[in-house]
Amino acid sequence: MIKITIVCVGKLKEKYWREAIAEYTKRMSRYADFSIVETDEERLPDDPSQSQIDNTIIREGERILSKIPKGSQIAAMCIEGKSYSSEGLAQLLENNKVYGGGSIAFVIGGSWGLSDQVKKTADIRMSMSEMTFPHQLARVMLCEQIYRACNIMSNTKYHK
């Protein structure tokens, strides 16, 4: 069974996001050892300087890297990454399962993005879209796509 971890900055504030994540976590339990690891989000003033933003990105990146399970392939979620179709994501997971040690960590940064260190450490840079999404929604969307990919690999009817 593949081990899939999402490492992300911040907690889900709204109940409906937490419920969506709980549902996908439950559904994925039959396909993968799935977990979400949250790291603390840095607090910034309302009008932060570029230096404050840069330091925030670095500190959040250090926390992200400390939470990635050892031996995991790392997929950094960033706008400049490669876009994957649902079938492409399924193939990526299948390849990881067969050739990559069976453990992958998807990384979602904070509202200011991912540090260069996280991106350099990543094996893959992946983009969900050129559009910008709230990080909470991106987490739910990523869970759904991982669930869909698991269904594609299992040839179930969820993906049409």
Q: Where are the domains of the chain?
A: 2-153
Distances (CA, A) of 97 to 14, 31, 51, 80: 33, 12, 40, 25
Residue 130 pLDDT exceeds 90 = no
Query: What architecture is the 2-153 domain classified under in CATH?
Result: 3-Layer(aba) Sandwich (3.40)
**Cβ-contact 67, 35 below 8 angstroms:** no
Q: Is 53 exposed, middle or buried (0-12, 13-18, 19+ CB in 10 A)?
A: middle
3-state SS, residue 81: strand
What would the mean pLDDT of 72-92 be, rounded to a whole number? Answer: 96
Tell me the whole-structure pTM to 2 decimals: 0.94
Residue 160 pLDDT exceeds 80 = no
Residue 67's contacts (CB-CB under 8 Å, 6 or more residues apart) are 7, 37, 39
CA 21 to chain centroid? 12
